[in-house]
Amino acid sequence: MASAEMQSQDRAASPRLTADRVREILIVDDHPLMCDALALTLKISFGLRNVRTARSLAAAQEQIRAQGAPDAVILDLNLPDAKGAEGLVTLRRQIPDVPITMISADLENAMISAAMAAGAQGYVSKSLGREALVDSLRRMWEGERVTPDSYQPDSVGEEDAARVELARRFASLTPQQMKILRLICQGKANKEISYELSIAEATVKTHITAIMSKINARRRTQAVLLANSVRLFEPA
């Protein structure tokens, strides 16, 4: 089966994605009832050939590696192994050309801004009715960036561009570096990170040096502030 990267290249060479061309969706949500209800709604409303589901970020990544990239992704904001923009940043790196819709009950301006800056095609509320949800997804798959009606962008111009650039830098981190940064944000010392990830403390230090270089931070506290500014990790 073709890899996600090969499918991404094929998609780039093919005509622009439209709602009518979306035939396979991946829903990433750890709530079985929400997942099943959403899958059924999409199958009926769009006549989809296949709706795939995953209960965690890791499961979604593995499924994409094994089955290839879907035409579109619907991603829950808070997963067991990724809370905040982390899941979006991670998947955006793996499937850069696939539209990703964030879905959440969290409608804070800062969170929506962070998600959109990190590359979401749109952000929808879990409380949306069926018709509104279907309409929002159709518009996103036609190329529109969709956000809740209540959303008030909290920054424009240079600040917005800076947030996008920062999200791009975080997307350059490897999976192991992302894990280490998450633990740094939790206040873990190098020795604790070494123990938790079963790697040498010297390896932790090497990764931290690389993280600091990629995100242009000089100190751990600065790295934490930068991660918090784009809501990369949300508290459990």
Q: Where are the domains of the chain?
A: 4-141, 172-229
Give tens-digit pLDDT for 191-210. Answer: 999 999 999 999 999 999 99
pLDDT at site 235: 59
Q: What's the whole-number average pLDDT of the chain?
A: 86
Q: Report, as an integer, the average pLDDT of 209-224.
A: 93
pLDDT value for 150: 86
Confidence label for 160 from pLDDT (cuts 50, 70 and 90): low
pTM of the shown model: 0.78
DSSP track, the chain: ---HHHHHHHHHHSPPP-GGG--EEEEE-S-HHHHHHHHHHHHHHH--SEEEEESSHHHHHHHHHHH---SEEEEESEETTEESTHHHHHHHHHSTTS-EEEEES---HHHHHHHHHTT-SEEEETT--HHHHHHHHHHHHTT--B--TT------THHHHHHHHHHHHHHTS-HHHHHHHHHHHTT--HHHHHHHHT--HHHHHHHHHHHHHHHT-SSHHHHHHHHHHTT-S---
pLDDT digits (tens, 9 = 90+) for 81-120: 888 888 999 998 899 999 999 999 988 888 888 888 888 9
8-22, 36-50, 131-145, range with greatest mean pLDDT: 131-145
Pick the CATH number of 4-141 from 3.30.1490.120, 3.40.50.2300, 3.40.50.720, 3.30.360.10: 3.40.50.2300
CATH number 1.10.10.10 is the correct assignment for the domain at 172-229: yes
Local confidence band at 172 (pLDDT 50, 70, 90 cut-offs)? confident
Asked if residue 2 has pLDDT above 50, the reply is no
